[in-house]
Structure formats: C-alpha cells, structure tokens
Structure 1
Amino acid sequence: MTDATIGSLRVNGATLHYEVRGYGPLLLLIPGGTGGAASFDGVADDLAAEYTVATYDPRGMSRSTLDDPEAEQHVAEHADDAFRILELLSPGEPARVFGASSGAITTLHLLTAHPERVERAVAHEPPVVEVLPDAAEHRALLARVQQTLHTQGLMPAMAVFAAGLKEGGAPTEPKAQLQLPPRAAARAEQTMADLPYFVGRIVPSFMSYAPDIHRLETLSDRLVLACGQDSRGELPYRPAAALAERLGMELQQYPGGHTGLTTHPAEFGALLRAAFRS
C-alpha cells in the first residue's frame, strides 16, 4: 500500500477521517456498508497512478466520529459530507465519484444536489428499493430487521437482513471462520464493531431513500449504474437494474457480486478507469 496523506474534516455534527493518495484529477471513493476507507485498499493504489484518490470513513463509522452517537442518519447529510470533501480537495473543479452500496446512494444524492461538482459518477448496486414495484415488501423486511434488532439482538437481525437480500429470501449458511492476515483481521474486527450502527441507523434510512428520478434523467449523461455479474436477482442488484431501465441507460456489469470491489479488485479497478475515461 502507498502511504496516504491522512486528514480530518469537521462537518455538521461529525468529524470525518479521510485519506488521499496519488496525483491528477480528483477521484472520490465513497464506501458502503461498514467498509470505510479501508474497503478500497485493493484498488486505491492502482487508481492513484492516474488520479488523486480520496476516500473516507462515513460519519459514525470507524474513525469518523459523531458529536451525538445517537443522532439519526440521513442520506442528504451524508451526501453533504462528500460535498465538503470535494470542496476541500478540489475547490471549484468537478470531480469523479464512485460509490458502492449505501455509498452509491450517497453518490446519487450528491449528483442531484451538486451536479456542478460531479464530472462523472459510478454507482455500484445502490439498494434504492423504493424504485421497485414490490417496494412495500422491502419496507416490511426493514421493519422486521429493526424489530429483530431491538428484541433479539444484532446477529439474529443480520440473519433476517441477509436472507432478505438473497434471491428468494433463502437463509444462508454461516461461513467457517478463517485465519486472516493481521490487516484483514483488523478490518473484520472494525466491521463487527460498526455493525450495530450500520444495521440500526444506516440501513433503515438509506433503504427508504427515494432518488429524484426526474433530476437523474437530466443528469444521466454523467451517471453510470453498475451491478455485480454474480448478484443478478438479489436485492442490491434489482433496484439498480430498475433505475437503469427508468433512466434509459445500459446497466454496466462488474465482476463478482455485491462486494466485487473486494473479491475482484484488479478487474473492478480496470472497469472503473474505463468508465471514468469514457
């Protein structure tokens, strides 16, 4: 890993941890889930050969602290955080932006709220379930997840959530524990530490977000919607496919599934570079 310049940025109600590496036009990478800036470790160095690559821990995750740990979370505020980073690192200049999962929802809102600051945006599997014809079923899923979280705890809630994300809602078998290298083990530990906040605060807010379709239609020339080749039919794939159809654009296929960024970093990074050059 190339050494990154580390910084912190005060925003409304939080202090953001961010990292910058490389030279060239700014490319902001917005993580999803509980990954934080570390989720881009596999691609950041390669992208930094062409871009000034910036990423960060979203507010409340990992090293980005909230003034009020109990504060409700809102997509618009997370998108404003991304905007503040753009203003800091690329004042007055449009930037390229990539977001994954919940970070892709942040990316969609950033594009619609501040189109003058986004030259091109790639959103990978944003779970905007409100665009689906069966959105009511997914609202019910989110309600079950929250009820299970409050009555039975984190891991039962995660099981309900994971089953709902799979095609047909089939439960998944627990994976065997592997001996991880120290860096990966530290990331896994941080992921577990962030899960209660993610499931309790981020999931219900972000998955109830309805994108501004009409606004996105006017900006579709600078938006790329992408999905994992292996996640066809699963919940994170379906909303992106539906949104692409609504906007009349081709859905780009990326390697792997919802976490293809981690499982296929080289191929994923190559497709990202191509998307930002086109």
Structure 2
Amino acid sequence: MSTPTVGSLPVNGATLHYEVRGQGPLVLLIPGGTGGASSLDALAADLATEYTVATYDPRGMSRSTLEDPEAEQYVAEHADDALRMLDLLSPEEPARVFGASSGAIVAVHLLTTCPERVARVVAHEPPLVEVLPDATEHRALLTRVTETLRTQGLMPAMAAFAAGLQKEGAPSLQPPAEVKLPPQAAARAEQTMADLPYFIGRIVPSFMSYRPDLHRLRALSDHLVLACGENSRGELPYRPAAFLAEHLGIELRHFPGGHTGLTSHPAEFGELLHKALRA
C-alpha cells in the first residue's frame, strides 16, 4: 500500500487532517460515520493507480480538530470543508468525489451548491431520509436516539439508532464477540469508539434532518451516481438512494456487501467505483 503525503488544512472553525496518494485527476473520498481517512486506506491505494486520491478526517473526527469542541455541526459547513480540499488540490479542474453514508450527504450538497467544481459524484447510501414518504417516522427515530443519549448514555442510544436502521423483522443486533485485533486495527477501533459520542450526538441528528434540493439534483443528475449495497435491501440507508434514483430517472447501482461494503469487500468495491468514476 502506497504511503500517503500528509497535510493539514485550516478551515472555518477547524483544522482538517488530510492524506494524498497517486497522480492524475483528483478523486476526493469523503468517509462516513466515524471511519475517518484511515477507513479508506485500501480504497485510496487502489484508486491511486489512476488518480490523485485525497482522503481526510471530517471536522471534529480523529485528527481534524474543532476550535470549539461543542460547536453544532451542519451539512453545509462540512461541504464547504470538502470544497476547500478541492480548491487546494485541484484548483483549476473539476474533481471526482465519492462519499459514503454521512459523507455521501456532504457530497450531494457539494454537487448542488458548487457543480462547477465537481465532475462526478458517487454517493453510496446517503441516509437522506427527509426525501422519503415516511420521513415523519424517521424524525421520530432521531428524537428517540437524542433523548436516549441524554437520559441513558451512549451505548443505549447507539442500540436505538442501529435498531432503526435495520430491515423490518430483522433480529436485534448482538454485541460482537471480543477478539484480539492487530495493533493498527485496534488503534482504529479505539478511535472509532472515541468519536462515537460526537457522531451520534451531533452528526446524526443534523445530517439526517437535511433535505437536498431535488430540483437542483434533477438538473445535475448526469453528474450523479447513486449506489447501494447488494445486502442492504430493505434497510433504512438503502431506501433514500433507491427513492432518489427513481425520482431522478437514473440508474441505481449496486455495490458488493452492505452499508459498509467498502471495508468488507474492498477489492470488488474498488473495481466498481473505478467504473462509476469513469462513466
């Protein structure tokens, strides 16, 4: 795996940690959840055979620090961070952008607000639940998760959130068995746990309350690829992309695995992403 060049970028209210690999047209990878840049290492190394690939920790996550650790988080501000990355690394040419989950929401907003800076967006399972006909139910889920976090703490809130994302009738998620991880993976898991309160407390409520500009998306749909995991059918993160693909009249592409297919099936996922970025 190629060794990235590491940098830091001051933005409004934060400093972003970013990593760059390869040569060629720029591809910006925006992680979802608490993964950060390190969750995209394998994918970035694969794409770096053809592109300059940039990854970064979203503001407030891992090595990207906030000036005010209690600051509210907004999709528009996270999208502006992505724009600053494009301005730094590809100032003259539009770039390709891939986003996963919450990172896909950022990528969609970037497309609708700065289309001249984006050649193509591949959005994998953006949980844009506000576009769904039953959005009221999902607002109730967010309220339940927020209240559970306030009254019972992190792990009960995570359990409530995970239950709301599952397929109807699916068995409840069980805690994973304890296993001994390699040092690098153990450090990554520790960082993920450290970022969970910020993610569940400030990213989830703000991002899943965001509604994209559907008129703008329709006008820009030739620059947008919507993707879902083969194994995600029926789960909440699958449904908004499927709804939008039908609404916009574009193909819904299926990638291997489920919501986290880029980590469970990195080689197959990377192969399909190569094709989606070229199309």
Q: Which bin holds the TM-score, normalised by the shorter protein?
A: over 0.9
Correspondences of 1:164-183 after superposition (within 5 Å)? 164-168=164-168, 170=170, 171-183=172-184
Structure 1 letter corresponding to 2:100 = A
Q: Any stretches of 5+ residues in structure 2 without a counterpart?
A: none
Counterpart for residue 231 of structure 1 = 232
Q: Distance in 2 between matches of 1:238 and 1:277?
A: 25
Structure 2 letter corresponding to 1:164 = G
- State the SS of the aligned residue for 2:263: helix
| TM-score, normalisation: structure 1 | 0.99
1:135 aligns with 2:103: no
Which consecutive segments of 4 or more residues in structure 1 shift more than 3 A?
none
Q: How many Å apart are 1:250 and its aligned residue?
A: 1.1
Counterpart for residue 21 of structure 1 = 21
Q: How many Å apart are 1:169 and its aligned residue?
A: 6.5
Q: CA RMSD in A?
A: 0.8
Counterpart for residue 116 of structure 2 = 116
Deviations 1:69-95 (A, max 9, x none): 000000000000000000000002100
Counterpart for residue 54 of structure 1 = 54
Q: Distance in 2 between matches of 1:8 and 1:181?
A: 27
Counterpart for residue 266 of structure 2 = 265
Counterpart for residue 197 of structure 1 = 198
Counterpart for residue 107 of structure 2 = 107
Range with greater deviation from structure 2 (163-172 or 113-122): 163-172
Q: Distance in 1 between matches of 2:169 and 2:20?
A: 39
Correspondences of 1:81-96 after superposition (within 5 Å)? 81-96=81-96
Counterpart for residue 98 of structure 2 = 98
| TM-score, normalisation: structure 2 | 0.98
Structure 1 letter corresponding to 2:48 = A
Structure 2 letter corresponding to 1:196 = P
Q: Distance in 2 between matches of 1:42 and 1:262?
A: 8
Structure 1 letter corresponding to 2:111 = L
Range with greater deviation from structure 2 (200-209 or 166-175): 166-175
Structure 2 letter corresponding to 1:184 = A
Deviations 1:223-272 (A, max 9, x none): 00000000100000011111111111110000000000000000000001
Q: How many Å apart are 1:191 and its aligned residue?
A: 0.2
Counterpart for residue 152 of structure 2 = 152
- State the SS of the aligned residue for 2:157: helix
Q: Distance in 2 between matches of 1:2 and 1:274?
A: 22
- State the SS of the aligned residue for 1:210: coil
Counterpart for residue 206 of structure 1 = 207
Counterpart for residue 215 of structure 1 = 216
Q: Distance in 2 between matches of 1:29 and 1:238?
A: 22
Q: Distance in 1 between matches of 2:247 and 2:53?
A: 31
- State the SS of the aligned residue for 2:17: strand
Deviations 1:192-212 (A, max 9, x none): 000000000000000000011
CA separation of 1:179 and 1:245: change in aligned 2, threshold 3 A: same
Contact 1:57–1:64 under 8 Å retained in 2: yes
Q: Distance in 1 between matches of 2:148 and 2:45?
A: 40
Q: Distance in 1 between matches of 2:43 and 2:91?
A: 25
Q: How many Å apart are 1:46 and its aligned residue?
A: 1.2
Q: How many Å apart are 1:139 and its aligned residue?
A: 0.3
Contact 1:145–1:157 under 8 Å retained in 2: yes
Q: Distance in 2 between matches of 1:180 and 1:214?
A: 47
Q: Calculate percent identity across the aligned residue pairs.
A: 77
